[in-house]
Amino acid sequence: MNEHVHQLRVQYPETDQMGTVHHSNYLKYFETARWEYFRELGLSYADIEAAGYMLPVTRCNMHFLRTTHYDAILRVHTRITGLKGVRIWIENKLYNETNELINKTEIELAFVRKGSWKPCPPPEFVTNILTKLID
């Protein structure tokens, strides 16, 4: 099944004065979850950079549905929804302990050459693994 689940606990510095997670931190949760998924598939992001590529975020569409709180245990669901040309699309859903949807986000990333930031197709060792997940 093309879906990965990553569990995390909300840390104190991630909270703000509202007593919830500062909204910028969700992008960090999704980033951690994404690379854990890749690692499970046999791809480490460190290897991608070592091979001369980077994979920056080019778009994201975030929907914050519910608040959460310090020390909450959250689950990040990650699904790769597309891979075409230089781009990859990912869908993230964040749930709390009682299975309520906290956040839903679509992320687009693009492969670029390290150094030049020039968009380029992913290296073969990446496409070999990712294409199996999409269809």
Give CA torsion, residues 38, 53, 26, 95, to 10 deg: -20
Tell me which residue of 6, 13, 17 sits closest to 79, measured CA to CA: 6
Cα dihedral 84, 36, 54, 59 sign: positive
Among 71, 73, 118, 134, binds a second copy (CB under 8 A): 71
Among 3, 52, 63, 101, binds a second copy (CB under 8 A): 63
Q: Please report how close the Cβ of residue 135 comes to a second copy at its closest, in angstroms.
A: 28
φ/ψ (deg, to 5) at 97? -65, -30
Contact 51, 43 (CB under 8 A): no
Instruction: Kindly state whether residue 62 participates in binding a second copy, applying the rule CB under 8 A.
Output: yes
Instruction: Kindly state whether residue 89 participates in binding a second copy, applying the rule CB under 8 A.
Output: no
User: What is the distance between the alpha carbons of residues 53 and 48, in angstroms, rounded to a whole number?
Assistant: 6
Q: Which residues ranging from 106 to 135 are in contact with a second copy (CB under 8 A)?
A: 117
> What residues are annotated to the active site?
16
Residues touching a second copy, count (CB under 8 A): 36
Query: Site residues (CB under 8 A) for a second copy?
Result: 11-13, 15-20, 22-25, 27-28, 31-32, 35, 44-46, 49, 54, 56-64, 67, 70-71, 117
